[in-house]
Amino acid sequence: GQNIDQPTEMTATEGAIVQINCTYQTSGFNGLFWYQQHAGEAPTFLSYNVLDGLEEKGRFSSFLSRSKGYSYLLLKELQMKDSASYLCAVSETDSWGKLQFGAGTQVVVTP
């Protein structure tokens, strides 16, 4: 089994930076994913980390430390449209498609 923990909610101001932490305990590991999900919509892929380090993609960056079972998603220059749930997910060792998700972190961006 896998335990994936992330904060329930975070609030930040437009233009600011927010860091969403995710810790996981798994028997195997084949990558960590971050997805964004707006209310009532499907999750959309943000990032994938399989090696330690930082992956940067525009305003979003994701970091992974496999030895610590830790990842974070960094959202810079926050915009109102970034208000959404951010899901951390871990892939089992034998297939990328079988993702184990955390409960999600609701990010609220205020003016």
Partner 1 sequence: ETGVTQSPTHLIKTRGQQVTLRCSSQSGHNTVSWYQQALGQGPQFIFQYYREEENGRGNFPPRFSGLQFPNYSSELNVNALELDDSALYLCASSRGDSYEQYFGPGTRLTVT
* Contacts to partner 1 by CB under 8 A: 4, 31, 33, 41-45, 48, 87, 89, 91-92, 94-104
Nearest approach in angstroms of CB 104 to partner 1 is 5
Nearest approach in angstroms of CB 63 to partner 1 is 17
Name the residue nearer to partner 1 (CB basis): 74 or 106.
106
- Token pair, residue 16, equals 């600011």
Using CA atoms, how far residue 44 sits from 53, 56, 94, in Å, is 22, 17, 22
Angle at 74 between CA 69 and CA 76, to 5 degrees: 175
Name the residue nearer to partner 1 (CB basis): 42 or 80.
42
The distance of Cα 96 from the centroid of its chain, to the nearest Å, equals 16
